[in-house]
A and B are shown apart, each in its own frame.
Chain A
């Protein structure tokens, strides 16, 4: 195809106006086919076409299915974690002892549910949960101070709710518990003498 330069050469502008040839459409309408095509064509949209069957659809790969199950399990974990955080928040606010008891049981049950799902998450996540459950196992909730409840809330919300619990998050959790008066190493300490 030739092109004609419009204006001065220095401008460099070209027009796609053909000089010696004209372009002809090969199809008369959108649905029609060019005779240049040799393959047999059958329109599927019209009655006689092949009906798509289910087995022709792409199947979900097993690995992908596992990922989606994991996402669902993680969302379930996060929901339980948010419930536990909420229980801590209410524990910090309420003065009603019956409500405190109820919230405490709710919190411990949430942690138990999380423990059941520990293998969904990375090792650090389960390790922190293990320490948290150990420090709470023998604690008298009625004698817990607000900084301690706040520390539990922070471990839940600022560590366990993270997408990935890094080593530094584990250390921070241990520090939060320790600074609030818990002994994070109680599970490895000598047994009580009582």
Chain B
């Protein structure tokens, strides 16, 4: 363990630590163990909540609606490709674990597991990251999940900063980071158009809007629409950034002078490490 070293864990890593197979979890654990502290942020927590816990609630509703574990699996397996992440909160594993269980038992176990996730998921997230930067202090990230009826009804809060009528402190955070925002904007504008991803383009437009009207931050729902940018700003000052999403992160890490560590999708592959001097990292040709 390197004394004084810190690594920032982004949403993709936190989701993988939770949902991926054992080998992948071990690879990530091995990487993190090399650092003195691991850190994450409110917007990462908000994304984890929105994606993982949101999917868990969806699955619970499907099970209740279908009335059975097997029925829910059929629904999830037939989802369009864009929603495949829901498969990752995998009902498949339960039948692998409890080989001899019938559909009634698996239904009960699945519902109990999903309730445990809904009620304890955020606390697990916080414990697993070790440290949370105050960052944007995202309002929805800390909004508690309310259980209205066990195994049936839950209230998760919203997704949009604009729904909060100024309650979300993200605007204040963006003002504090004005100089970093300006640096990122300048860098993004310099990236050749053919290498600019859709998300980077959104980030650039958001920052341009912010220059024109600094108070407009929350109106554009930044945590939802340009989450990667806000997470990058929150991670500013943490020397190493760990992610599975290299496409956008390679640019943002570069401008923030961070070492980018990419966990590949296949557990057997070694992590790729890029120091800030390695720029421009082949502009998206990492994998």
Contact in complex: A175, B151 (CB < 8 Å): no
- The closest CB in chain B to the CB of A192 belongs to B21
Number of interface residues of B (CB under 8 A): 33
Q: How far apart sit A183 and B92, CA to CA, in the bound complex (Å)?
A: 16
Say which residue of B93, B112, B119, B127 sits within 8 Å of A190 (CB atoms): B93
Say which residue of B56, B97, B119 sits within 8 Å of A137 (CB atoms): B97
From known contacts A167-B120, A171-B120, A174-B120, infer whether A127 and B112 are also in contact, taking CB-CB under 8 Å: yes
Contact in complex: A193, B21 (CB < 8 Å): yes
From known contacts A123-B151, A171-B123, infer whether A189 and B21 are also in contact, taking CB-CB under 8 Å: yes
Q: How far apart sit A170 and B122, CA to CA, in the bound complex (Å)?
A: 13
Q: How far apart sit A134 and B109, CA to CA, in the bound complex (Å)?
A: 9
Q: How far apart sit A127 and B98, CA to CA, in the bound complex (Å)?
A: 15
In the bound complex, residues from chain A placing their C-beta under 8 Å from that of B124 are 171, 174, 178, 184-185
Contact in complex: B117, A134 (CB < 8 Å): no
Contact in complex: A138, B88 (CB < 8 Å): no
In the bound complex, residues from chain A placing their C-beta under 8 Å from that of B20 are 189-190
- The closest CB in chain B to the CB of A167 belongs to B119
Max chain A C-beta neighbours (<10 A), residue from B109, B112, B117: B112
Q: How far apart sit A189 and B24, CA to CA, in the bound complex (Å)?
A: 11
Q: Does A144 contact B (CB under 8 A)?
A: no
Contact in complex: A131, B93 (CB < 8 Å): no
Say which residue of A130, A170, A175, A192 sits within 8 Å of B113 (CB atoms): A130
Q: A123-B150, A183-B22 are in contact. List 15 more A-B contacts (CB 8 A).
A: A123-B112, A175-B127, A183-B25, A187-B97, A187-B109, A188-B89, A188-B113, A189-B18, A189-B21, A189-B90, A189-B93, A190-B21, A190-B24, A192-B22, A193-B23
Binding site for A on B (CB under 8 A): 18-25, 56, 88-90, 92-94, 96-98, 109, 112-117, 119-120, 123-124, 127, 150-151, 267
